Structures are given as C-alpha cells and as structure tokens.
C-alpha cells in the first residue's frame, strides 16, 4: 500500500532500532487492518465503469443499499427496461430517493411512456439536479440532496404538455403512499408577508408557501379586517417542507435572519399587531428549537420579542397577496437577510 511504503521510508531515516521495531509492529497492524477492510468491502458490481461518487458527509443517515442498488445509485448503472417495480405503477403518493429519503416526484406527474422505466414530466422543485453527461448527448439526473443517480432527462419528445421525460430507475426510488408521506409544516409571522414568503421560497427543501392570517379569534378574516386590528390575526406564511432536505431549525434560523425579531408589533415601516414576530409551532420539537434559538439570541444581548405559540387555524390570504414579488417583480421593501448564524 502507498500509505505503508511512505511511512516505512520516513521512519527508516531515523535509524533507531527501537523505532524500527515499533514501525514493524505498526506496519503489521496497518496491513492487518487494510486486509480486514478489503474483506469487508462488497465485491465490485458490474456497471458503466463510472467511479463511485464522493460520499456526502451525512451518509450515516442514509439507507443501507444492496449491491444491486449501489450499482445504479452510486455507479450510474441502469436497470433493465420493463423490470422495475414502478414502471407501470400509478398509485397516489410520492416517490422518494431510495438512498436519503428526499421527496423527488409526485404521482400526478407520472405518465405511461412505454419506454420501460418510470417516467415523470415534472419533479418536486429543486429536488432533482441535472448534469450533462461527458459525451454531451444525455443529461444525467441525480438526487439534489445526496447525489444518488436517478437516470436521465429528455426534452423535445412531445410526450406531454411539459415536453419533458424524467426517465428514472425504479431501484433509485422508494414509493410512499400518500397517507404515509410526512411533510414538515411551519408557520412564521415576521411583518409584511410578501417579503417573508419571497425569502422563504428561496430555501432548498421548501416545497410550498402560502401567505395568510393566523393567531387571531375570527374565522375567514379578510386583509381589511386584519388591518383594522379587530381580529387578532398576524400576517403569516405557512411553509410546507421536506424534512429530509431542510430542518425546522434551518428554517427558524432563516426566519430570524430575514426580519428584526426585536421590534414589537411592527416591522420597519409597517406598524400594528398584525406585523408581530411569531412562530406558531406544530410539534413539541419545533417549540423546543424555537425557544432554544431565542435563548441563544438573547444570550447575545438581543431583546427578542418573538412569540412562540401553538399553531391554530391558518386562513390563506387573498390571491393577489400570494407570491406577490414573483408576480410584481422587485425585491421586498422591508425584509433582507442579515446573517446571525
């Protein structure tokens, strides 16, 4: 082994008998360990002669793969057409990454292509990464979270309105029936909801955001009623997210960074209790994370006034408030990110 010979050369220069003896022992141990590793490693699996991808740091949380799964997911192999479990599978649910569990495709975007592999014309936004193959002909698709190989994507075939075919190996995915899918759900209030939605939308792992009203005591409030300070609601953003790709803690840190949590019942030029800073938690864990982060900021001398309360009814806002900056263009007038962590 290269490692052993380098060590041998280095230590040989010292010329000490005692050290040489120690070296022999070390070499013996190294050789023994290396031998053990070789024995433990799964035998090479025939593939497309592609190198194994770099192991991402969070690998310990990933599912253990069989040699057959490794051949496709780690070595860019391809399962034989018409042999995969999901080729003709059209049940309601989500297709997730076999390796890391990230949500990849929704069943409603699946279509029968008759090519012999599962075909989708749309992926969950940001969940699938495209990389041109070295030959410049095809475009590889991988899981954006763990880098696992999924297959290839083709455009211009005219098969669906979206004119896109994600051709995915069944073995790269795990299907979850709709009732087993565990989305993350979070609710943040931090001033004018236009800007908060705009900034939360940019976080990878966020699947959907909705602006609306929560924390009040009336039903189906309108914007005018909320602005009249008679309903108790706060302008808020409901966030649906993939907990594999983004944690609540990451979202909550972002929340603190995109508004000023020390301003009471206002945010910049917007004044009134509907602009209060609040986290409406949906689980005990979310509550603990929110309180931990607030304690951390207070420990730094910030007088954080963010309320942490259980999530109650959330009333979606009027259509013209949804994705306001996406429709209108421009950047939020009162929200910008300020790094705190």
Catalytic residues: 167, 192
Say how many C-beta atoms besides its own lie within 10 A of residue 38's C-beta. Answer: 8
Please give the size of the binding site for Zn ion, defined by CB under 5 A: 8
- Measuring CA to CA, how many Å separate 197 from each of 201, 213, 216? 6, 13, 20
Closer residue to Zn ion in complex, CB, 19/58? 58
Least separation in angstroms between residue 14's CB and Zn ion is: 48
Q: Identify which of 256, 244, 261, 236 has the alpha carbon closest to the alpha carbon of residue 186.
A: 236
Does the footprint of Zn ion cover residue 276 (CB under 5 A)?
no
CA angle 217, 324, 340 (to 5 degrees): 80
Does the footprint of Zn ion cover residue 189 (CB under 5 A)?
no
Binding residue for Zn ion, selected from 74, 100, 246, 293, defined by CB under 5 A:
100
Cβ(204)–Cβ(230) under 8 Å?
A: no
Closer residue to Zn ion in complex, CB, 75/233? 75
Query: Which string of x and - marks every residue 68-97 that binds Zn ion (by CB under 5 A)?
Result: -----------------------------x
Mapping DSSP to helix (H, G, I), strand (E, B) and coil, where does residue 320 land?
Answer: helix
Q: Is the dihedral of CA 214, 219, 221, 226 positive or negative?
A: negative
Cβ(254)–Cβ(271) under 8 Å?
A: no
Least separation in angstroms between residue 335's CB and Zn ion is: 31
Closer residue to Zn ion in complex, CB, 173/252? 173
Closer residue to Zn ion in complex, CB, 148/205? 148
Does the footprint of Zn ion cover residue 99 (CB under 5 A)?
yes
Does the footprint of Zn ion cover residue 102 (CB under 5 A)?
yes
Element (H, E) at 245: none
Closer residue to Zn ion in complex, CB, 93/272? 93
Least separation in angstroms between residue 127's CB and Zn ion is: 9
Q: How far is 25 from 272, CA to CA, in rounded Å? A: 74
- Measuring CA to CA, how many Å separate 244 from each of 49, 73, 120, 183? 30, 18, 21, 9
Least separation in angstroms between residue 103's CB and Zn ion is: 10
Residues 148-177 that bind Zn ion (CB under 5 A): 148
Least separation in angstroms between residue 57's CB and Zn ion is: 13
Alpha-helical segments (H) within the chain = 2-12, 17-40, 67-73, 193-200, 223-227, 248-257, 284-299, 324-328
Helix/strand number for the chain, H first, E second: 8, 16
Least separation in angstroms between residue 122's CB and Zn ion is: 18
Cβ(133)–Cβ(153) under 8 Å?
A: no
Least separation in angstroms between residue 144's CB and Zn ion is: 8
Cβ(274)–Cβ(315) under 8 Å?
A: no
Mapping DSSP to helix (H, G, I), strand (E, B) and coil, where does residue 293 land?
Answer: helix
Residues 109-148 that bind Zn ion (CB under 5 A): 143, 145-146, 148
Closer residue to Zn ion in complex, CB, 124/289? 124
Does the footprint of Zn ion cover residue 233 (CB under 5 A)?
no
Query: Which string of x and - marks every residue 8-47 that binds Zn ion (by CB under 5 A)?
Result: ----------------------------------------
With a CB cutoff of 8 Å and minimum separation 6, the contacts of 219 are 313, 315
The stretch among 100-108, 127-135, 184-192, 270-278 that binds Zn ion (CB under 5 A) is 100-108
Q: Contact residues for Zn ion (CB under 5 A)? A: 97, 99-100, 102, 143, 145-146, 148
């Amino acid at each position: 082994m290269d490692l052993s010979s380098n060590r041998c050369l280095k230590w040989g220069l010292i010329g000490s008998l005692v050290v040489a003896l120690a070296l022999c022992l070390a070499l013996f141990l190294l050789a023994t360990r290396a031998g053990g590793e070789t024995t433990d490693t799964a035998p090479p699996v025939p593939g497309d002669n592609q190198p194994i991808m770099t192991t991402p740091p969070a690998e310990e949380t990933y599912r253990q793969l069989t040699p057959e799964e490794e051949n496709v997911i780690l070595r860019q192999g391809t399962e034989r057409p018409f042999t995969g479990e999901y080729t003709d599978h059209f049940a309601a649910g989500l297709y997730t990454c076999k390796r890391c569990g990230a949500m990849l495709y929704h069943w409603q975007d699946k279509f029968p292509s008759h090519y012999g592999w599962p075909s989708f014309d749309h992926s969950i936004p940001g969940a699938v990464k495209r990389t041109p193959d070295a030959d410049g002909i095809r475009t590889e698709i991988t899981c954006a979270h763990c880098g696992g190989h999924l297959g290839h994507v083709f455009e211009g075939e005219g098969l669906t309105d979206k004119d896109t075919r994600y051709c995915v190996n069944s073995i790269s995915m795990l299907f979850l029936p709709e009732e087993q899918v565990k989305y993350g759900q979070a609710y943040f209030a931090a001033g004018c909801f236009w800007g908060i939605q705009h900034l939360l939308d940019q976080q990878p792992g966020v699947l959907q955001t909705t602006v609306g009203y929560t924390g009040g005591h009336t039903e189906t409030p309108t914007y005018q009623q909320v602005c009249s300070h008679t309903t108790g609601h706060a302008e808020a953003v409901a966030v649906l997210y993939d907990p594999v790709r983004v944690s609540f803690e990451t979202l909550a840190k972002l929340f603190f960074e995109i508004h000023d949590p020390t301003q009471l019942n206002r945010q910049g030029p917007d004044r009134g209790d509907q602009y209060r800073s609040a986290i409406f938690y949906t689980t005990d864990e979310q509550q603990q994370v929110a309180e931990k982060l607030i304690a951390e900021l207070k420990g730094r001398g910030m007088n954080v006034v963010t309320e942490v309360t259980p999530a109650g009814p959330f009333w979606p806002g009027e259509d013209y408030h949804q994705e306001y900056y996406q429709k209108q263009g421009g950047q939020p007038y009162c929200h910008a990110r300020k790094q705190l962590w």
